[in-house]
Amino acid sequence: MSTNIKRIAVFTSGGDAPGMNAAVRAVVRNATHKDLHVYGIYRGYEGMIDGDIKRLETRDVGNIIHRGGTILKTARSKRFMTKEGRQQAHESLMAHDIDACIAIGGNGTFTGASVFNKEFDIPFIGIPGTIDNDLFGTDNTIGFDTAVNTAIEAVDKIRDTADSHNRLFFIEVMGRNAGFIALNTGIGSGASNIMIPERASTIDGLIKQLKKGVKRKKLFSLAIVAEGNKLGNAMEIAELVKAQTDFYDIKVAIIGHLQRGGSPTAADRMLASRLGFSAVEALMDGKTNVMAGVANNKVVYTPFKKAIKNTKTPDADLIHMAEVLGM
């Protein structure tokens, strides 16, 4: 049990994700339970540099578990990438006598934390908060389940108009470098086609599959496209297919930032609460430079270097299942 840590800071960084507030709540309440002083850093590393740091009490995190976004706000900081910016951030932490930090975010957040720890030897624990679900060392990241549910709800509505008009919809979801949202949305919504960055696709192969549906007198079709799909975005793919076919009225829908907002699902609230609680436990046990995650329903701690560099890809069996079920 560590006796050196008396004051900790928590912040959210990078893209926002539903459930971040639940994680902040868990950090503050468990730390307060252990008689630690907790400080919130507003606007991520930008706020750390500017000294935008305030004490958080238990009452400050009441009635936030159901809220999307982050009460601590978030930002991406170019200044923190410089030695001068990190030096200023360190001075801000020292001005508040901060002994350790809990960072809620993704790859960029943990990369910054790792560099900062190496330079100034301040303990950091990471909590994976990103809708992309692309961090190695945890089955799911905070916000992923909510983003998928939001996307599926939108696709279900699009299905109604597709069915009414004999349409083919290309529906773009988030996932610049990872296809987890697209794959799970596609399976959950019963889409005919799913295009993800990790899987090679061709326009000819896509048209061939669409023709099979037409032969079966399929009245409409839904194709889920991850924004990072190598064939292009949904609009570009739709134009290519439209130029070679005439059996569907082709439309495009981009769900976009709707996936980042909204009240977190029960699964995300549970995950965020568990990881926020565990991050404080990790600091008290003397851990540093690790990300708290849940694998096989057990809390695990993965070194930042491994969480950042190791590639997490969708399960090949799940991709095969999606292809079979989408026929």
**pLDDT tens digit sequence for 56-108:** 999 999 999 999 999 999 998 999 999 999 999 999 999 999 999 999 999 99
For residues 126-144, give the mean pLDDT.
97
286 is a domain residue: yes
Question: Which domain-ending residue is among 201, 231, 260?
Answer: 260
Same domain assignment for residues 103 and 242 = no
181 is a domain residue: yes
189 is a domain residue: yes
CATH code of 139's domain: 3.40.50.450
Number of compact structural domains in the chain: 2
Estimate to the nearest angstrom the gap between the alpha carbon of 128 and the chain centroid.
7
Q: What is the mean pLDDT of the chain?
A: 93
Phi and psi at 128, nearest 5°, equal -75, 105
Same domain assignment for residues 95 and 226 = no
In which band, very low, low, confident or very high, does the pLDDT at 209 lie, cut at 50, 70 and 90? confident
In which band, very low, low, confident or very high, does the pLDDT at 3 lie, cut at 50, 70 and 90? low
CATH code of 224's domain: 3.40.50.460
Same domain assignment for residues 167 and 55 = no
Same domain assignment for residues 132 and 276 = yes
Distant-in-sequence, close-in-space partners of 168: CB < 8 Å, separation ≥ 6: 162, 210, 220, 221, 222, 223, 241, 248, 249, 250, 251
191 is a domain residue: yes
92 is a domain residue: yes
Same domain assignment for residues 201 and 126 = no
Same domain assignment for residues 268 and 139 = yes
Please state, in angstroms and rounded to a whole number, the distance separating the CA atoms of residues 220 and 230: 24
283 is a domain residue: yes
Active site residues: 132
Same domain assignment for residues 22 and 72 = yes
Please state, in angstroms and rounded to a whole number, the distance separating the CA atoms of residues 25 and 30: 9
Residue 201 has pLDDT above 90, yes or no: no
Give the tens place of pLDDT for each residue, 262-296: 999 999 999 999 999 999 999 999 999 999 999 99
> Kind of pairing, strands 124-128 and 100-105?
parallel
In which band, very low, low, confident or very high, does the pLDDT at 175 lie, cut at 50, 70 and 90? confident
Please state, in angstroms and rounded to a whole number, the distance separating the CA atoms of residues 143 and 268: 6
User: Which of 127, 220, 205, 133 lies closest to 168 in space, CA to CA?
Assistant: 220
Phi and psi at 317, nearest 5°, equal -65, -35
325 is a domain residue: no
Sheet strand arrangement including 167-173: 193-195, 221-226, 167-173, 249-254
pLDDT of residue 230: 87
Domain that holds residue 235: 145-260
Residue 1 has pLDDT above 60, yes or no: no
Same domain assignment for residues 111 and 230 = no
Please state, in angstroms and rounded to a whole number, the distance separating the CA atoms of residues 284 and 298: 19
Residue 208 has pLDDT above 90, yes or no: no
pLDDT of residue 222: 92
**Beta-carbon neighbour count of residue 194 at 10 Å?**
27
26 is a domain residue: yes
Helix (H, G, I), strand (E, B) or coil at 45: helix
Same domain assignment for residues 270 and 127 = yes
Angle at 280 between CA 279 and CA 284, to 5 degrees: 120
